[in-house]
Amino acid sequence: MPVTQLIYSSRPFGFDDAILSQILLTARRNNANAHVTGCLICRGDLYLQLLEGPEEAVARLYDAILEDDRHLEVTRRVQRQIGTRMFDGWAMRDDPAQSWLWTKEEVEAGALDRADTAAFLAVFQRLADGAH
């Protein structure tokens, strides 16, 4: 079965540890039921998330994120078909941006808009390599 991989970024609205815990709890439950895996990198100024799974399920999740008022400036960064999941077995891995590639200042200066597919994938690959 083909797998869709989607990476998006957004700016958190009202970010704190309680909101993050709620997002992760809901994501892990819903994603497992929808056969979606992925990873969320988060900090006070940025969410960067990779979702992978059946095309329809990933599209539904992304549409829900677009409507979620905890996300501002949602931007699709990568969408492609893949043969092997990067986060197989992880309903939603999370990283509190300790291994973050871009600083807050770099993000504010447009680093995400200048990044290409390979740069986004490299961030998540580093986390996937450490997840096993």
| Sign of the CA dihedral running 92, 78, 9, 115 | positive
Confidence at residue 33, expressed as pLDDT on a 0 to 100 scale: 84
d(C-alpha 88, C-alpha 53), whole Å: 10
Q: What is the pLDDT of residue 132?
A: 44
**Range picked from 38-47, 94-103, 113-122 for highest mean pLDDT:** 113-122
CA distance 91 to 94: 10
Q: Would you list the domain boundaries of the chain?
A: 3-131
- Contact yes or no for 87/41 (Cβ under 8 A): no
Average pLDDT rounded to a whole number, residues 2-10: 94
Q: Which fold has domain 3-131?
A: Alpha-Beta Plaits (3.30.70)
pLDDT over threshold 60, residue 99 = no
Listing DSSP states for 89-132 in one string gives: T-S-EEE-STT-SS-HHHHHTTHHHH--HHHHHHHHHHHHHHH-
pLDDT tens-digit series, residues 9-62: 998 887 777 877 777 788 778 888 889 998 888 887 888 999 999 999 999 999
